[in-house]
Amino acid sequence: MEKKEAETNWIERAYNKLIAPKTIKICGYTAIVTFFGLMSLAIIVAVTLGPPGYNIIDNWISDMGNHYYTPAPFLLNAALICTGILLVPFHFYLERHLAPIPRVPEDLPAPHRMTYRLMELSFFCNMLGSFGMIMVGIFSEDRDIAGLHFIFSMILFGSFAIGALFMGLRTTFLKQSVFPKPFNYILGIYGICVPSIVGTFAALYLSPLWEWIIFFVLLGLITPIFVNVLRHAESQLKQG
Q: What is the pLDDT of residue 7?
A: 52
Better pLDDT: 138 or 97: 138
Q: What is the pLDDT of residue 100?
A: 61
H-state helical runs in 103-182:
113-138, 148-173
> Model pTM?
0.85
The CA-CA-CA angle for residues 115, 228, 79, to 5°, reads 105
What is the distance of C-alpha 35 from the center of its chain?
11
Q: Is 154 exposed, middle or buried (0-12, 13-18, 19+ CB in 10 A)?
A: middle
Most confident listed range (3-7, 166-170, 205-209): 205-209
Going through the chain in order, the beta strands assigned E by DSSP cover none
Q: Which residues contact 169 (CB under 8 A, 6 or more apart)?
A: 118, 188, 191, 192
List % helix, strand, coil for the chain (3-state, nearest 5): 80, 0, 20
Q: Which of 140, 91, 122, 110 has its CA nearest to residue 191?
A: 122
Decide: 177 and 97 in contact? Cβ < 8 Å.
yes
How far apart are the C-alpha atoms of 92 and 15, rounded to whole Å?
9
How far apart are the C-alpha atoms of 100 and 93, rounded to whole Å?
10
Q: What is the pLDDT of residue 60?
A: 92
At 180, phi and psi to the nearest 5? -70, 150
Decide: 208 and 58 in contact? Cβ < 8 Å.
yes
* % the chain with pLDDT above 90: 44
Per-residue pLDDT reduced to its tens digit, 15-33: 888 888 899 999 989 999 9
Indicate the DSSP class of residue 67.
T
pLDDT at 71 over 80: yes
pLDDT at 123 over 60: yes
Per-residue pLDDT reduced to its tens digit, 180-228: 888 888 888 999 999 999 989 998 988 999 999 999 999 998 888 888 8
